[in-house]
Amino acid sequence: MAEEIERKFLLRSEGWRGLAPGMAYVQGYLAANGACSVRVRIAENSATLSVKSTTTGAGYREFEYGIPLEDARQMLATLVLEPLIEKTRYTVEHKGFCWEIDEFHGRNQGLVVAEIELERADQPFEKPAWIGEEVTGDPRYYNANLARAPYGEW
């Protein structure tokens, strides 16, 4: 089990573009309720099954396991809640921290968010100039909720 602390932000500019190559992700949720979510994800040629606890502020628990790629494809085609989450992830290093920028496609087109993973909730970090408003505690931006209420429908 891994306890993770992540903070999530909207972006204020396109200044991050060109700083890293992107990787295509497609994911779907087998279950999502008030206590946890169960996600199937394909990232290029690898697949994972993840169980995440409900987010409380910036922290949550996540259990993640590699699964056969063909199993993931079948689950995404037949078992998950619609719509699928489609995005391109860019990993950008800035001042000793790794920022994961997700540019959403499909029914979440137009949404771009950045996350930073921290060792502790009060850990200081310097925001790049392209980081905007923090949305860590806003459940609308959780991927499991974007599968139920896509950004394009807000």
Asked about 60 being catalytic, the answer comes back as no
Rounded to whole angstroms, the Cα distance separating 117 from 119 reads 7
CA 125 → CA 80, 90, 130, distances in Å?
Answer: 36, 19, 14
- Residue of 25, 29, 60, 141 with catalytic role: 29
Q: Is the CB of residue 38 less than 8 Å from the CB of residue 50?
A: yes
Residue 55: name the closest of 135, 149, 150, 151 by CA.
Answer: 135
Longest CA span, the chain: 43
- Which residues are catalytic, by number? 29
